[in-house]
Protein backbone atom coordinates (compact mmCIF):
# COMPACT_ATOMS: atom_id res chain seq x y z
CA UNK A 1 0.00 0.00 0.00
CA UNK A 2 1.29 3.42 -0.87
CA UNK A 3 2.13 5.72 1.98
CA UNK A 4 -0.02 8.81 2.45
CA UNK A 5 2.79 11.33 1.73
CA UNK A 6 3.51 9.54 -1.54
CA UNK A 7 -0.17 9.68 -2.53
CA UNK A 8 -0.20 13.41 -1.78
CA UNK A 9 2.87 13.96 -3.96
CA UNK A 10 1.33 11.98 -6.81
CA UNK A 11 -1.90 13.98 -6.50
CA UNK A 12 0.02 17.27 -6.60
CA UNK A 13 2.00 16.15 -9.65
CA UNK A 14 -1.27 15.17 -11.35
CA UNK A 15 -2.82 18.56 -10.55
CA UNK A 16 0.17 20.35 -12.09
CA UNK A 17 -0.22 18.12 -15.16
CA UNK A 18 -3.88 19.14 -15.44
CA UNK A 19 -2.94 22.83 -15.18
CA UNK A 20 -0.25 22.38 -17.82
CA UNK A 21 -2.77 21.28 -20.44
CA UNK A 22 -4.56 24.65 -20.77
CA UNK A 23 -1.22 26.45 -20.39
CA UNK A 24 0.24 24.39 -23.23
CA UNK A 25 -2.78 24.81 -25.50
CA UNK A 26 -3.06 28.55 -24.86
CA UNK A 27 0.65 29.26 -25.37
CA UNK A 28 0.95 26.99 -28.43
CA UNK A 29 -1.99 28.59 -30.23
CA UNK A 30 -0.82 32.07 -29.32
CA UNK A 31 2.56 31.18 -30.82
CA UNK A 32 0.79 30.03 -33.97
CA UNK A 33 -1.16 33.29 -34.19
CA UNK A 34 1.93 35.46 -33.73
CA UNK A 35 3.72 33.64 -36.56
CA UNK A 36 0.81 33.09 -38.95
CA UNK A 37 1.12 35.19 -42.11
CA UNK A 38 -2.31 33.93 -43.10
CA UNK A 39 -3.83 35.55 -40.02
CA UNK A 40 -2.11 38.87 -40.74
CA UNK A 41 -3.26 38.85 -44.36
CA UNK A 42 -6.80 37.92 -43.31
CA UNK A 43 -6.95 40.97 -41.02
CA UNK A 44 -5.41 43.29 -43.61
CA UNK A 45 -7.98 42.22 -46.21
CA UNK A 46 -11.03 42.16 -43.93
CA UNK A 47 -10.41 45.59 -42.43
CA UNK A 48 -9.12 47.14 -45.68
CA UNK A 49 -5.90 48.22 -44.03
CA UNK A 50 -4.30 49.25 -47.30
CA UNK A 51 -7.05 51.81 -47.88
CA UNK A 52 -6.95 52.96 -44.24
CA UNK A 53 -3.18 53.47 -44.17
CA UNK A 54 -2.27 54.24 -47.77
CA UNK A 55 0.26 51.40 -47.66
CA UNK A 56 0.14 48.78 -50.40
CA UNK A 57 -0.84 45.21 -49.60
CA UNK A 58 2.63 44.02 -50.58
CA UNK A 59 4.27 46.47 -48.16
CA UNK A 60 1.83 45.40 -45.44
CA UNK A 61 2.93 41.80 -45.96
CA UNK A 62 6.57 42.89 -45.78
CA UNK A 63 5.87 44.74 -42.52
CA UNK A 64 4.11 41.65 -41.12
CA UNK A 65 7.06 39.40 -41.99
CA UNK A 66 9.43 41.88 -40.34
CA UNK A 67 7.25 41.93 -37.22
CA UNK A 68 7.34 38.12 -37.08
CA UNK A 69 11.12 38.17 -37.46
CA UNK A 70 11.42 40.77 -34.72
CA UNK A 71 9.29 38.81 -32.25
CA UNK A 72 11.45 35.71 -32.79
CA UNK A 73 14.86 37.37 -32.77
CA UNK A 74 17.10 39.21 -30.34
CA UNK A 75 17.16 42.28 -32.58
CA UNK A 76 16.41 45.61 -30.89
CA UNK A 77 14.79 47.89 -31.80
CA UNK A 78 12.52 46.69 -34.59
CA UNK A 79 13.78 47.48 -38.07
CA UNK A 80 11.30 47.98 -40.90
CA UNK A 81 11.93 48.86 -44.53
CA UNK A 82 8.32 49.96 -45.06
CA UNK A 83 7.64 53.70 -44.94
CA UNK A 84 4.46 55.67 -44.39
CA UNK A 85 2.88 57.47 -47.37
CA UNK A 86 4.57 60.61 -46.03
CA UNK A 87 7.99 58.93 -46.27
CA UNK A 88 8.46 58.59 -42.51
CA UNK A 89 9.48 55.52 -40.52
CA UNK A 90 6.50 53.17 -40.19
CA UNK A 91 6.56 53.16 -36.39
CA UNK A 92 7.33 56.14 -34.17
CA UNK A 93 9.28 55.83 -30.91
CA UNK A 94 6.19 55.21 -28.80
CA UNK A 95 5.14 52.37 -31.08
CA UNK A 96 8.67 50.95 -31.06
CA UNK A 97 8.64 50.97 -27.26
CA UNK A 98 5.27 49.22 -27.20
CA UNK A 99 6.46 46.56 -29.63
CA UNK A 100 9.38 45.87 -27.30
CA UNK A 101 6.88 45.30 -24.47
CA UNK A 102 4.79 43.06 -26.73
CA UNK A 103 7.90 41.08 -27.65
CA UNK A 104 8.67 40.53 -23.97
CA UNK A 105 5.14 39.21 -23.39
CA UNK A 106 5.36 36.93 -26.41
CA UNK A 107 8.67 35.52 -25.22
CA UNK A 108 7.07 34.87 -21.83
CA UNK A 109 4.35 32.80 -23.51
CA UNK A 110 7.04 30.97 -25.48
CA UNK A 111 8.66 30.10 -22.14
CA UNK A 112 5.32 28.92 -20.73
CA UNK A 113 4.92 26.65 -23.74
CA UNK A 114 8.37 25.11 -23.31
CA UNK A 115 7.97 24.61 -19.55
CA UNK A 116 4.46 23.14 -19.88
CA UNK A 117 5.53 20.81 -22.70
CA UNK A 118 8.58 19.73 -20.73
CA UNK A 119 6.53 18.97 -17.63
CA UNK A 120 3.89 17.04 -19.60
CA UNK A 121 6.59 14.94 -21.28
CA UNK A 122 8.39 14.29 -17.98
CA UNK A 123 5.13 13.40 -16.22
CA UNK A 124 4.10 10.91 -18.90
CA UNK A 125 7.50 9.27 -19.31
CA UNK A 126 8.23 9.23 -15.58
CA UNK A 127 4.77 7.87 -14.78
CA UNK A 128 5.06 4.94 -17.17
CA UNK A 129 8.57 4.14 -15.95
CA UNK A 130 7.41 4.23 -12.32
CA UNK A 131 4.01 2.51 -12.49
CA UNK A 132 3.95 1.05 -16.01
CA UNK A 133 0.39 0.14 -17.09
CA UNK A 134 -1.12 1.24 -13.77
CA UNK A 135 -0.18 4.82 -14.66
CA UNK A 136 -2.56 4.86 -17.64
CA UNK A 137 -5.64 5.42 -15.47
CA UNK A 138 -4.07 8.49 -13.82
CA UNK A 139 -2.90 9.82 -17.19
CA UNK A 140 -6.33 9.50 -18.79
CA UNK A 141 -7.98 11.18 -15.80
CA UNK A 142 -5.49 14.03 -16.05
CA UNK A 143 -6.04 14.47 -19.79
CA UNK A 144 -9.82 14.59 -19.38
CA UNK A 145 -9.53 16.93 -16.39
CA UNK A 146 -7.14 19.26 -18.22
CA UNK A 147 -9.40 19.33 -21.28
CA UNK A 148 -12.47 20.18 -19.18
CA UNK A 149 -10.53 22.93 -17.38
CA UNK A 150 -9.38 24.35 -20.72
CA UNK A 151 -12.90 24.50 -22.13
CA UNK A 152 -14.22 26.02 -18.90
CA UNK A 153 -11.60 28.79 -19.06
CA UNK A 154 -12.45 29.50 -22.69
CA UNK A 155 -16.15 29.70 -21.85
CA UNK A 156 -15.50 32.15 -19.01
CA UNK A 157 -13.27 34.37 -21.16
CA UNK A 158 -15.70 34.07 -24.08
CA UNK A 159 -18.65 35.19 -21.99
CA UNK A 160 -16.62 38.12 -20.66
CA UNK A 161 -15.68 39.15 -24.22
CA UNK A 162 -19.31 38.92 -25.37
CA UNK A 163 -20.44 41.09 -22.47
CA UNK A 164 -17.72 43.72 -22.96
CA UNK A 165 -14.76 42.95 -25.24
CA UNK A 166 -13.35 46.47 -24.90
CA UNK A 167 -13.22 46.11 -21.11
CA UNK A 168 -11.47 42.74 -21.45
CA UNK A 169 -9.05 44.15 -24.02
CA UNK A 170 -8.14 47.11 -21.84
CA UNK A 171 -7.87 44.91 -18.76
CA UNK A 172 -5.45 42.63 -20.57
CA UNK A 173 -3.17 45.56 -21.45
CA UNK A 174 -3.28 47.04 -17.96
CA UNK A 175 -2.46 43.65 -16.46
CA UNK A 176 0.46 42.70 -18.71
CA UNK A 177 2.00 46.09 -19.58
CA UNK A 178 3.50 48.30 -16.90
CA UNK A 179 3.94 51.32 -19.19
CA UNK A 180 1.26 53.21 -21.10
CA UNK A 181 2.92 52.91 -24.52
CA UNK A 182 -0.01 50.73 -25.66
CA UNK A 183 -2.28 53.79 -25.55
CA UNK A 184 -1.87 54.80 -29.19
CA UNK A 185 -3.63 57.36 -31.37
CA UNK A 186 -5.62 55.70 -34.19
CA UNK A 187 -5.48 58.92 -36.17
CA UNK A 188 -1.68 59.12 -36.32
CA UNK A 189 -0.08 55.84 -35.16
CA UNK A 190 0.28 53.23 -37.88
CA UNK A 191 0.58 50.29 -35.51
CA UNK A 192 -3.03 50.68 -34.41
CA UNK A 193 -4.09 51.52 -37.97
CA UNK A 194 -2.62 48.21 -39.13
CA UNK A 195 -4.03 46.24 -36.21
CA UNK A 196 -7.40 47.68 -35.09
CA UNK A 197 -9.40 46.19 -32.23
CA UNK A 198 -11.40 44.07 -34.67
CA UNK A 199 -8.22 42.32 -35.78
CA UNK A 200 -7.50 41.20 -32.21
CA UNK A 201 -11.10 40.17 -31.69
CA UNK A 202 -10.94 37.93 -34.75
CA UNK A 203 -7.56 36.56 -33.71
CA UNK A 204 -8.97 35.75 -30.27
CA UNK A 205 -11.85 33.88 -31.91
CA UNK A 206 -9.47 31.84 -34.06
CA UNK A 207 -7.30 31.02 -31.06
CA UNK A 208 -10.28 30.12 -28.87
CA UNK A 209 -11.76 27.94 -31.60
CA UNK A 210 -8.49 26.08 -32.08
CA UNK A 211 -8.06 25.56 -28.34
CA UNK A 212 -11.60 24.22 -27.94
CA UNK A 213 -11.15 21.83 -30.87
CA UNK A 214 -7.86 20.55 -29.46
CA UNK A 215 -9.28 20.21 -25.94
CA UNK A 216 -12.30 18.30 -27.26
CA UNK A 217 -9.98 16.03 -29.24
CA UNK A 218 -7.76 15.29 -26.23
CA UNK A 219 -10.70 14.93 -23.86
CA UNK A 220 -12.52 12.70 -26.33
CA UNK A 221 -9.55 10.37 -26.66
CA UNK A 222 -9.06 10.29 -22.89
CA UNK A 223 -12.75 9.66 -22.24
CA UNK A 224 -12.94 6.94 -24.87
CA UNK A 225 -10.10 4.95 -23.35
CA UNK A 226 -11.40 5.51 -19.81
CA UNK A 227 -14.78 4.00 -20.79
CA UNK A 228 -13.05 1.21 -22.61
CA UNK A 229 -10.99 0.34 -19.54
CA UNK A 230 -14.07 0.36 -17.30
CA UNK A 231 -15.98 -1.94 -19.64
CA UNK A 232 -12.99 -4.27 -19.82
Instruction: Find out whether 76 and 100 touch, Cβ atoms under 8 Å.
Output: yes
Please give the Cα distance from 101 to 94 (Å, whole number): 11
Tell me, what DSSP letter sits at residue 73? S
Tell me, what DSSP letter sits at residue 52? H
pLDDT tens digits, 131-151: 888 899 999 999 999 999 999
Helices (H), the chain: 4-34, 37-46, 49-53, 57-71, 93-131, 135-176, 190-194, 197-231
pLDDT tens digits, 79-138: 999 999 999 999 999 999 999 999 999 999 999 999 999 999 999 999 999 888 889 999
User: For residue 224, is the peptide bond before it cis, meaning its omega torsion is within 30 degrees of 0?
Assistant: no
pLDDT tens digits, 39-77: 999 999 999 999 999 999 999 999 999 999 999 999 999
Q: Is the pTM of this model over 0.95?
A: no
Amino acid sequence: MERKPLRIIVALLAIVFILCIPALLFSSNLRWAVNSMGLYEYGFNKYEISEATGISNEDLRVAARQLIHYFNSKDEPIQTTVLTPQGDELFNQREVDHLKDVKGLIRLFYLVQVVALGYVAAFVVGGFIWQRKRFLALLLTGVVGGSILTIALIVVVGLASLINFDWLFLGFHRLFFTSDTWMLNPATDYLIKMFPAGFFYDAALFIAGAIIAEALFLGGIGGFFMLRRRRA
